[in-house]
Amino acid sequence: MEQGVNARENLEKVRAAIAAAEKEAARENGSVRLVAVSKTKTAEEIRPVIDAGQRVFGENRVQEAQSKWPGLKAETAGIELHLIGPLQSNKTADAVALFDVIQTVDREKIAREIAREIKKQDKRPGLYVQVNTGSEPQKAGIEPDEAAAFIAMCRDELGLKITGLMCIPPVDENPGPHFALLAKIARENDIDTLSMGMSDDFQTAIAFGATEVRVGSAIFGAR
Ligand SMILES: *Cc1c(COP(=O)(O)O)cnc(C)c1O
């Protein structure tokens, strides 16, 4: 582990900051779930955070997650693993097999592959749609104005249970309007779970209604 990084202590600080942000936003204590983002970190670095009671984790690459999480899941009951990075169609079967939640459903081809694998493997991963709130050409996610039609297609045509939305605001912009847009799309489409906010902006995201925040470096140190 990186010198001087005390993930356990950092985890406590992040939990306290989440609780303070909930209070500040007049939201119920415990209404925001923490997804600890463990990408690039080894099993040895992740284990103390599991030992400190954290059970929900996010990884952004299927292959990397496959190398660490089957072992960690076997050690501790109740681990919930989220895929938060873009999904390639040739990795869909592996993703459905390993992840409890896929946060990055963002195009028809992937949605169809997921639907096929869910049937084949008899699995029920939670599914969120990623929305490209900043319409950035290089970024994954469905365009905001196409989100409603895409969610309806996933639900009505493919029978997928879409329960959440996820976004990653542009790095150089005030994230507030992006979080507000995601919350609006969720309301309009009967979606409860809002995955938004990272180490630098999770308090803002909580003020805008985040129900899940994805926090990596504030817990595990810089990557
Ligand atoms: C890496 C990552 C995070 C965590 O970012 P930090 O700034 O380290 O908290 C959150 N969400 C996604 C999609 C990521 O890829």
Exposure string (b/e) for 177-191, b if CB count within 10 Å is 16 or more?
ebbebbbebbeebeb
pLDDT at 179 over 50: yes
Q: Is 196 in the pocket of ligand 1 (CB under 6 A)?
A: no
What predicted TM-score, i.e. pTM, was given to this entire model?
0.97
Taking the centre of ligand 1 as the mean of its atom positions, its distance from the CA of residue 111, in whole angstroms, is: 23
For position 34, what pLDDT does the model report? 98
**Does ligand 1 lie within 6 Å of residue 169's CB atom?**
no
Q: How far is the CA of 60 from the centre of ligand 1 (A)?
A: 8
Going by CA atoms, what residue is nearest to atom 7 of ligand 1? 199
Q: What angle do CA 155, 97, 211 make, to 5 degrees?
A: 55
Average pLDDT over residues 145-172: 98
DSSP, res 156: I
**What confidence category does residue 4 fall into, taking pLDDT thresholds of 50, 70 and 90?**
low
Task: Determine the atom of ligand 1 nearest the C-alpha atom of 84.
Answer: 13
The pLDDT of residue 5 is above 90: no
**How many A from CA of 84 to the centre of ligand 1?**
8
pLDDT at 1 over 80: no
2 or 208, greater pLDDT = 208
Mean pLDDT score, 71-96: 97
